[in-house]
């Protein structure tokens, strides 16, 4: 079994429903994203069209993030998902450097790497990923790419010739496909970026938390302090409890 | 977007995540610079030990491991300080993932620390016979001082994977097209030779003139080759749109233009000519000046090379 994603960009209307659903389902902090929809305007006024491209982790078969992770925090599941165990993550950000799709972020609340897991927790319970459920036009197609009779396999066969992946030259063998995406949609260098001329210019950022346990000095002193307060018991091989993590101090840059 | 009319073949991003920032910051630059120094003094020191008699380089036996140990600690401390969960570094030992160059580097650094600590201890106790001369432990260590010669080849051998692992980490960073394994492997080795020879210049006062000439020669050649690689990448990277886009940060209007060219002119070209001239003239003051410039230039060049590919949009 190899789970994969396909987005039909001809259907996507850029409503960002998937993005919001993902954010809610996975409690993704502001200024970070597991899934986001990129808008690209093409053409010269008045002949202008707007393209929408949902971008998320590609769950590569040859995942550079898995290879570079020194502690196997990033690992493959049997169903092909590249999952992350944040309790093991040491925060070296090697995976952030390795991912050619920019799909991994350092969570400002937990100070560990995080990314889309194709909602592995939902799949385990027999549910579809939150973004698939939220899509009003069924542009997100999810399923087993090794099963010839699955919806995604049939869709790929039906659209052979127009199925693309992002950055195939990186040899990552992504399991995330696009139909109807041109160079403009999938190549980050194919278009212009004018800073401060985006649709939304005032972006809220969250700085990484400087709790008593996360400033530079306290990182060293952490083992000497009460581990209970740290909210991370993985050091002793116990389950990490997200509830124990202190609430973030949200800071606005703008 | 009307006021920014663009060609029909081009697109304009109107909504995306904010431009990426440098995730691996100056602490990683310091890490890479310090590891160059750690390894460089050992490699250059080994070459000088092989080529010159001990009377020509009297303090080399204890100075080299001492400098190496100090910079090794800077390397380890900067790594720990950078990590978002410093104490969890123990997970590298508990759950090692051997495909990662970070894991290999951590294990090699651990072994290297042990070897270098042994060498420093023996080297210093031999060099200063009156130091704690009645202590039972120092007596035992002094009796086994020949152990130094048995350990040092292993330290030299381990220094190669220790320095090369930084290049492999860069190569494993698939997102950063600028960092290509073949180039980085040579570049980090040359960086080690630059750092090693430049640092040893400061402790070479009592050495023979031939030994100092060798230092100047190693420094000049390493700078020359390293500079040529940087210029080769800057001027002739025709093959990839991604690399070309990255190198634009070094062009006249680029964000890192000033830092890069300061590194190249003051940190590479100037010490290159100074060290070439010193191969014959043996001017110690100029040599030290060249060494300082080379160490600063190496840091700046590594800093630029580390940061520019990180600010390229990936989405």
Query: Do β-strands A113-114 and A105-106 pair in parallel, antiparallel, or remain unpaired?
Result: antiparallel
| pLDDT score at A218 | 65
Q: What percent of chain A has pLDDT over 70?
A: 76
pLDDT-based confidence at B241, cuts 50/70/90? confident
| pLDDT score at B262 | 95
DSSP A238: P
List beta partners, residue A51: A40
Does residue A108 sit at the B interface (CB-CB below 8 Å)? Answer: no
Q: How far apart are CA B12 and CA B100, in angstroms?
A: 37
| pLDDT score at B193 | 98
| pLDDT score at A250 | 39
Evaluate if residue A219 carries a pLDDT over 70. no
| pLDDT score at B14 | 82
Higher pLDDT, A108 or A199: A108
List beta partners, residue A41: A50, B12
Does residue B21 sit at the A interface (CB-CB below 8 Å)? Answer: no
* A130-134, A199-203, B185-189, B264-268: least confidently modelled range: A199-203
Q: Shortest CB distance from A39 goes to which of B14, B94, B242?
A: B14
The answer to whether A39 contacts B1, with C-beta atoms less than 8 Å apart, is no
Top residue of A90, A114, A115 to mutate, by most chain B CBs within 10 Å, is: A90
Does residue A223 sit at the B interface (CB-CB below 8 Å)? Answer: yes
Closest CA to A155 of A168, A166, A139: A139
Residues 60-119 of B with CB under 8 A from A: 80-92, 94-97, 99-103, 106
Pairs from B110-115 (Cβ < 8 Å, separation ≥ 24): B111/B158, B112/B38, B112/B72, B112/B155, B112/B158, B112/B159, B112/B162, B113/B69, B113/B72, B113/B76, B115/B151, B115/B154, B115/B155, B115/B158
Residues 146-165 of A with CB under 8 A from B: none
pLDDT-based confidence at A192, cuts 50/70/90? confident
pLDDT-based confidence at A173, cuts 50/70/90? very high
Q: Mean pLDDT over residues B45-69, rounded? A: 94
Strands (E) across chain A are located at 3-8, 35-44, 47-56, 74-76, 82-84, 105-106, 113-114, 140-144, 163-164, 176-179, 191-193
Evaluate if residue A229 carries a pLDDT over 60. no
| pLDDT score at A96 | 96
Q: Mean pLDDT over residues B308-313, rounded? A: 92
| pLDDT score at A209 | 60
Higher pLDDT, A239 or B257: B257
Q: What percent of chain B has pLDDT over 90?
A: 75
DSSP A72: S
Per-residue pLDDT tens digits for B158-168: 999 999 999 99
pLDDT-based confidence at A224, cuts 50/70/90? low
List beta partners, residue A177: A6
Q: Mean pLDDT over residues B137-155, rounded? A: 92
| pLDDT score at A108 | 86
Per-residue pLDDT tens digits for B105-117: 999 999 999 999 9
Query: Do β-strands B11-15 and A191-193 pair in parallel, antiparallel, or remain unpaired?
Result: parallel
| pLDDT score at A194 | 76
Higher pLDDT, A220 or A89: A89
Report whether B107 contacts B96 (CB < 8 A): yes
- Chain B residues with CB-CB distance to A95 below 8 A: none
The answer to whether B11 contacts A192, with C-beta atoms less than 8 Å apart, is yes
Cα distances (angstroms) measured from residue B160 to each of A155, A222, B110: 51, 33, 14
Q: Mean pLDDT over residues B128-143, rounded? A: 89
| pLDDT score at A182 | 83
Q: Mean pLDDT over residues A108-121, rounded? A: 93
Closest CA to B271 of B206, B205, B218: B218
| pLDDT score at B9 | 59
In total, the C-beta contacts within 8 angstroms joining chain A to chain B are: 205
| pLDDT score at B2 | 44
- Chain A residues with CB-CB distance to B31 below 8 A: none
| pLDDT score at A208 | 63
Cα distances (angstroms) measured from residue A116 to each of A130, A131, A134, A179, B171: 11, 11, 16, 20, 24
Residue B21 CB-density burial (10 A; 0-12 exposed, 13-18 middle, 19+ buried): exposed
- Cis before B304 (ω within 30): no
Evaluate if residue A249 carries a pLDDT over 50. no
- Sequence-ordered list of residues with C-beta below 8 angstroms from that of B175, at least 6 positions apart, any chain: A64, A96, A97, A98, A99, A100, A101, A102, B309, B314
Closest CA to B41 of B1, B70, B3: B70
Per-residue pLDDT tens digits for B219-236: 999 999 999 999 999 998
pLDDT averaged over chain B? 92
DSSP B269: I
Does residue B50 sit at the A interface (CB-CB below 8 Å)? Answer: no
């Amino acid at each position: 079994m190899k789970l994969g994603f396909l987005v039909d960009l001809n259907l996507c209307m850029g409503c960002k429903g998937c993005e919001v659903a993902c954010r809610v389902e996975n409690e993704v902090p502001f200024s970070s994203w597991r899934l986001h929809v990129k808008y690209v305007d093409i053409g010269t006024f008045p002949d202008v069209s707007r393209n929408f491209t949902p971008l998320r982790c590609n769950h590569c078969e040859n995942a550079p993030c898995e290879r570079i992770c020194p502690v196997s925090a990033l690992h493959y599941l049997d169903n092909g998902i590249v999952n992350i165990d944040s309790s093991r993550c040491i925060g070296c950000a090697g995976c952030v450097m390795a991912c050619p799709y920019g799909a991994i972020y350092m969570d400002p609340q937990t100070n560990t790497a995080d990314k889309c897991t194709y909602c592995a927790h939902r799949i385990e319970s027999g549910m579809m990923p939150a973004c698939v459920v939220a899509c009003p036009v069924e542009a997100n197609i999810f399923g087993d790419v090794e099963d010839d009779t699955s919806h995604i396999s049939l869709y790929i066969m039906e659209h052979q010739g127009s199925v693309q992946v992002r950055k195939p030259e990186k040899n990552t063998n992504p399991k995330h496909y696009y139909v109807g995406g041109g160079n403009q949609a999938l190549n980050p260098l194919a278009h212009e970026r004018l800073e401060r001329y985006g649709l939304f210019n005032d972006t809220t950022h969250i700085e990484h938390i400087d709790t008593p346990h996360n400033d530079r000095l306290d990182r060293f002193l952490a083992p000497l302090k009460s581990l209970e307060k740290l909210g991370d018991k993985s050091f002793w091989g116990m389950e990490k409890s997200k509830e124990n993590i202190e609430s973030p101090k949200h800071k606005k840059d703008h | 977007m009307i006021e920014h009319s663009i060609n029909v073949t081009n697109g304009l991003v109107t909504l995306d995540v904010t431009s990426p920032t440098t995730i691996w910051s100056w602490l990683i630059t310091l890490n890479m610079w310090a590891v160059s120094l750690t390894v460089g003094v050992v490699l250059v020191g080994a070459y000088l030990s092989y080529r010159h008699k001990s009377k020509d380089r009297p303090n080399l036996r204890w100075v080299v491991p001492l400098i190496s140990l100090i910079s090794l600690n800077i390397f380890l401390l900067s790594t720990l300080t950078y990590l978002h969960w410093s104490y969890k570094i123990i997970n590298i030992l508990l759950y090692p993932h051997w495909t990662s160059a970070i894991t290999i580097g951590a294990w090699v650094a651990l072994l290297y620390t042990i070897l270098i600590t042994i060498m420093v201890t023996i080297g210093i106790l031999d060099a200063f016979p009156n130091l704690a001369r009645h202590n039972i432990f120092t007596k035992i260590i002094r009796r086994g001082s020949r152990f130094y010669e048995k350990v040092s080849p292993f330290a030299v051998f381990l220094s190669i994977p220790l320095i090369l692992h930084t290049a492999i980490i860069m190569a494993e960073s698939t997102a950063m097209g600028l960092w290509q394994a073949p180039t980085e492997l040579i570049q980090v080795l040359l960086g080690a030779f630059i750092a090693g020879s430049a640092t040893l210049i400061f402790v070479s006062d009592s050495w023979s003139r031939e030994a100092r000439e060798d230092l100047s020669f190693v420094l000049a050649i390493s700078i020359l080759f390293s500079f040529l690689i940087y210029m080769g990448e800057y001027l002739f990277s025709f093959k990839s749109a991604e690399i070309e886009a990255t190198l634009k940060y070094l062009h006249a209007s680029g964000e890192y233009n000033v830092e890069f060219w300061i590194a190249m002119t003051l940190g590479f070209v100037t010490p290159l000519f100074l060290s070439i001239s010193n191969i014959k003239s043996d001017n110690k003051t100029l040599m030290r000046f060249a060494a300082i410039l080379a160490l600063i230039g190496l840091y700046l060049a590594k800093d630029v090379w580390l940061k520019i590919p990180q600010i390229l949009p990936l989405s």
